[in-house]
A and B are shown apart, each in its own frame.
Chain A
């Protein structure tokens, strides 16, 4: 599965587990308006680290939090593993 599809399916899993209604997953979706809260994002990042072997949020030197879904996917796609 591609990185993009992995991320999208994990977002849907986490939202279902956490009983959150999420907005349609488009690249320009603002994460803060996605329907996921910070615990959901924390769980998502942990799951993606397990699946993709990368945690770009911890690995990056500067504190950089993506604002849109497209940025989030880009961060993982360009992350060294």
Chain B
């Protein structure tokens, strides 16, 4: 692990030459030039050199500061989302051979005992000390929600692979993601590399308060999952901001959400990115349409995409390099491709995402991706969000059922009419085994801390 980094400077060195960088949280601000020659680990900083370090801060802001400081110093930066339970943290600590935890909270339960290094106020260090050259491994859990966390390793070069130099004016970024998830980490690194401003949300802050802060800071660029966006569009807070660039990633961006965002933010570029913790950033589509151009398949650019058995395979320098702690589990095939398990259907010059392979519902031997049905339901103008799942059937194995969060709270009579309209829409567009057997109206559909819809197979 202790190979010296040849070309890419450490994040700290990179940030030092970006005086415009600002990471802003409620009541806290970090400026690129303030980081300079300082440490938040006081006299214990050198003890972290060459260690496998878990970023265990409660606060996103402290985690950001620790990442900047530890890249190039620690052998491994192990990054977990803030909602990880002590049991899951213990699994990560063991799999990633963590020997030190940095945290802003002495009382946080990590499931197992490890030495905790408390993050404090910055104190000066020798400038010489800042130029550590270790090629730190960045280790993140994949976004699956069941079983023991699966960890993948990245290199900073790979994480930065999709980031282009910023054009003037420098953006003001916001993200609904926590920066300790791949989608949020990308935005954090984007801000670092381009010397931009980034407004971090706070766990104790409401969506409305975050939007007010974003509006005051004139946020220009903002990113989240389609579920995050659907949730925002359900509240009047959506109208507080006026972004130039709206980014969706992490779930399928269907036509309904792309159209809804265009209606609310007519001046913004609406872009959906294909990215995952394992496969890195694949590509970005900004033509306002769902899916992606077939021309991206089989091209031999920086990112190579192939369809094999209907599943998208990705090869690029931006993918993770390996699984960590999973005995024998291979991330890359012999040719260096990652199988994303995202099922894609090619229709002429456009490719469409159908859903996750593991999430398939089997209706009498016919496969149904819940996402395919949701995309149709979501096209009804009175539907804000929907979730399709399986219901056991003694005859067909599974049947399709749907929960729908309507735009307006309806009277029972209106709900009946809406149900008929949604079912008619489904029957006109889908084979009969994919049409929901029942529709249940719900006030809201919960999304996970990851920003994705909760599914049986995430």
Are B432 and A39 in contact, with the CB atoms below 8 A? yes
Chain A residues numbered 9-61 whose CB sits less than 8 Å from any CB in chain B: 17-18, 38-39, 41-43, 45-47, 50, 55, 57-58
Does B222 make an interface contact (CB < 8 A)?
Answer: no
Are B437 and A58 in contact, with the CB atoms below 8 A? no
Chain B residues numbered 411-449 whose CB sits less than 8 Å from any CB in chain A: 423, 427, 432-433, 437-438
Are B438 and A42 in contact, with the CB atoms below 8 A? no
Chain B residues numbered 351-372 whose CB sits less than 8 Å from any CB in chain A: 363-364
Whole-angstrom distance from the CB of B435 to the nearest CB of chain A? 9
- The docked-state distance in angstroms from the alpha carbon of A57 to that of B438 is 19
If A42-B364, A46-B437 touch, whether A58 touches B394 (CB-CB below 8 Å) is: yes
- The docked-state distance in angstroms from the alpha carbon of A57 to that of B169 is 66
Are A46 and B432 in contact, with the CB atoms below 8 A? no
Does B391 make an interface contact (CB < 8 A)?
Answer: yes
Are A42 and B432 in contact, with the CB atoms below 8 A? no
Chain A residues with Cβ below 8 Å from B279 are none
- The docked-state distance in angstroms from the alpha carbon of A27 to that of B395 is 21
Are B396 and A50 in contact, with the CB atoms below 8 A? no
Whole-angstrom distance from the CB of B18 to the nearest CB of chain A? 58
- The docked-state distance in angstroms from the alpha carbon of A25 to that of B364 is 26
- Nearest residue (CB) in B for A58 is B394
Interface residues on A, range: 10 to 19
Are B364 and A46 in contact, with the CB atoms below 8 A? no
Whole-angstrom distance from the CB of A36 to the nearest CB of chain B? 11
If A46-B438, A50-B438 touch, whether A39 touches B433 (CB-CB below 8 Å) is: yes
Which among B391, B393, B396, B432 is the interface contact of A18 at CB below 8 angstroms? B432
Chain B residues with Cβ below 8 Å from A41 are 395
Are B438 and A45 in contact, with the CB atoms below 8 A? no
Chain A residues with Cβ below 8 Å from B396 are 38-39, 42
Chain A residues with Cβ below 8 Å from B257 are none
- The docked-state distance in angstroms from the alpha carbon of A50 to that of B395 is 16
Does B305 make an interface contact (CB < 8 A)?
Answer: no
Does B189 make an interface contact (CB < 8 A)?
Answer: no
Which among B394, B433, B437 is the interface contact of A55 at CB below 8 angstroms? B394
- The docked-state distance in angstroms from the alpha carbon of A55 to that of B394 is 9
Are B437 and A47 in contact, with the CB atoms below 8 A? yes
Chain A residues with Cβ below 8 Å from B399 are 42-43, 46
- The docked-state distance in angstroms from the alpha carbon of A46 to that of B367 is 19
Whole-angstrom distance from the CB of A45 to the nearest CB of chain B? 6
Chain B residues numbered 43-72 whose CB sits less than 8 Å from any CB in chain A: none
- The docked-state distance in angstroms from the alpha carbon of A17 to that of B423 is 9
Chain B residues with Cβ below 8 Å from A42 are 364, 393-396, 399, 437
Whole-angstrom distance from the CB of B424 to the nearest CB of chain A? 10
Are A46 and B391 in contact, with the CB atoms below 8 A? yes
Are A43 and B437 in contact, with the CB atoms below 8 A? yes
Chain B residues with Cβ below 8 Å from A18 are 432
Are B432 and A45 in contact, with the CB atoms below 8 A? no
Chain A residues with Cβ below 8 Å from B432 are 18, 39
- Nearest residue (CB) in A for B435 is A17
Are A45 and B364 in contact, with the CB atoms below 8 A? no
- The docked-state distance in angstroms from the alpha carbon of A36 to that of B217 is 61
Whole-angstrom distance from the CB of B442 to the nearest CB of chain A? 16
Are A38 and B394 in contact, with the CB atoms below 8 A? no
Are B395 and A57 in contact, with the CB atoms below 8 A? yes
6 contacts between A and B (CB under 8 A): A39-B433, A42-B394, A42-B395, A43-B399, A45-B393, A46-B393
Considering the complex of A and B, which 5 residue pairs feature the smallest CB-CB distances, nearest first? Answer: A42-B395, A42-B396, A57-B394, A42-B393, A58-B394
Known contacts A38-B396, A45-B395, then 13 further A-B pairs from the complex at CB < 8 Å, ordered by chain A residue = A17-B423, A38-B364, A39-B363, A39-B364, A41-B395, A42-B399, A43-B437, A45-B394, A46-B391, A46-B393, A47-B437, A58-B392, A58-B394
A residues contacting B by CB (< 8 A) are 17-18, 38-39, 41-43, 45-47, 50, 55, 57-58
